[in-house]
Amino acid sequence: MRLTNQTAAAVQIPAGRDRIVVFDDDLPGFGVSVSKGGSRMWVVQYRNALGQSKRESLGKVGLLTATDARRAAGERLARAKLGEDPHAEKVKAKARAAITFGAVVEPYLEAVAPHLRPAYLAEASRYLRTVWKPLHKLPLHTVGRQEITEHLAKIRRETGPHAANRARAALSAHFAWLVGTGSAEINPVMGVPKPAPEVRRARVLTEDEIARVWAACRDDDFGRIVRLLLLTGQRRDEVADMAWAELDLAGAVWSLPDPRVKNGQGHDVPLSATALQILSAMDRIEGRSLVFGQGEGGFQGFSRAKASLDKRSGVTGWRLHDLRRTAATVMADRLKVLPHVVEAVLNHISGHKAGVAGIYNRALYATEKREALDLLGAYLAGLQPRVEVAAADPESALAETEEGRPLPVVAHPAKRRRAQA
């Protein structure tokens, strides 16, 4: 019998049977399955490369015409003859569809957590968990350039081009890991243009701006962090997450361990007299290992504190990371510190410390670094703002307790010891 819409509808189940399959005479393997309850389904039956018999449903009679069902059956039978297994591929496709983008976010974050600095891990977590949440319900293999491009455009409209670029970078890193682990075939972010060109920041605070920011710093954690950023030239999170165990106040040295440094190469930061005065005056909270902040982790609340500082100082359009560039510029241009010493203070591994030279120079320049940061500390402590700084809370503002003057310069411990000798 040749199966048509009419012949398939006319198939009857013999008495005592729950189901019957009738195959087409013209296309062996193509058939119709009829159940006792009245269900009629087009099917195809074939043997895979292992000789196993497989039966696959094609669609309901009435919803799928006999012509279309025959065509689908012929395609599967042809693939089976070529050694493929349409049934196995269907099962695999169903399993792939069950894996959503959201399901692979946490495994990725757990895998990369030991290798990322806390700040980078927090940023990646925020972007993948929150910013890219609209993609969480999509099957992983369906996330493509169109979905990514459309959502990046939305991120740019709502939070700006810089945030969109960071979101793209976080997603690309995630997909690169998925490809590496075999969870994804391609990285769909590749080829998606950045929402905005990356602009390398070059903001350096002027002498007057430095003085106004310095004078506007309150005698609180944020104020101390800002001043230490200028005094040491280190990164924001390196200062904000500073631990008491890293400090040797008697030796005037702050030792940053490898895991806390962006390039993974820890180094010693000499502490100037002004930096020592800030740290020595702080009360250590019992049971807390970190210098700044409360609760878990280091200092939090940068955005609000920075906005308040900008209002008091009148200096705007700068970021905390600009203080690192500012410190380097002051050392090089005003204090005439040699370039390789500035790089050593910043713990850069480019320029004079790149390649083989960097391997042999890691332990050098300790004396030069101390002299450079002592000069920087004295320079910063001696600055006076030309514009009056907005008054802060008298009970909590260092500017008011010192009548707007910077911290007084005290003799460096090493210099005190030499003087006494």
pLDDT tens by residue, 192-243: 999 887 767 789 999 999 999 999 999 999 999 999 999 999 999 999 999 9
Report residue 324 as tokens. Answer: 């690192």
> Do the domain assignments include residue 233?
yes
Q: Of how many residues is the chain composed?
A: 421
Where residue 402 falls among pLDDT bands split at 50, 70, 90? very low
Residues 131, 23 share a domain: no
Residues 246, 339 share a domain: yes
Distance (Å) of CA 99 to CA 94, 107, 190, 289: 9, 13, 21, 42
Pair 345, 321: CB distance under 8 Å:
no
Share above pLDDT 70 across residues of the chain, in percent, rounded to a whole number? 84
Residues 270, 364 share a domain: yes
Kindly report the CA angle at 140 between 138 and 142, in degrees rounded to 5?
Answer: 70
User: What is the dihedral angle through the alpha carbons of 124, 129, 130, 136, rounded to the nearest 10 degrees?
Assistant: 130
Residues 153, 24 share a domain: no
pLDDT at position 65 over 50: yes
> Do the domain assignments include residue 153?
yes
pLDDT at position 413 over 70: no
> Do the domain assignments include residue 87?
yes
State the CATH number of the domain containing residue 66. 3.30.160.390
State which residues form the domain around 80.
5-97
Mean pLDDT over each residue of the chain, to the nearest integer: 85
Of 35 and 48, more confident: 35
Residues 134, 228 share a domain: no
Where residue 298 falls among pLDDT bands split at 50, 70, 90? confident
Q: What is the mean pLDDT of residues 269-282?
A: 96
> Do the domain assignments include residue 199?
no
Residues 348, 275 share a domain: yes
> Do the domain assignments include residue 84?
yes
Last residue of a domain, one of 38, 72, 97: 97
The pLDDT, as a whole number, for residue 396 is: 43
Task: Determine if the pTM surpasses 0.85.
Answer: no
User: CA 405, CA 408: separation in Å to the nearest integer?
Assistant: 8
Lowest mean pLDDT among 6-10, 240-244, 334-338, 391-395: 391-395
User: CA 320, CA 203: separation in Å to the nearest integer?
Assistant: 11
Last residue of a domain, one of 181, 198, 222: 181
Report residue 282 as tokens. Answer: 């702080």
Number of domains into which the chain is organized: 3
Q: What is the mean pLDDT of residues 94-110?
A: 85
pLDDT at position 126 over 80: yes
Residues 224, 367 share a domain: yes
Of 411 and 316, more confident: 316
User: CA 73, CA 144: separation in Å to the nearest integer?
Assistant: 30
Lowest mean pLDDT among 55-59, 125-129, 295-299: 295-299
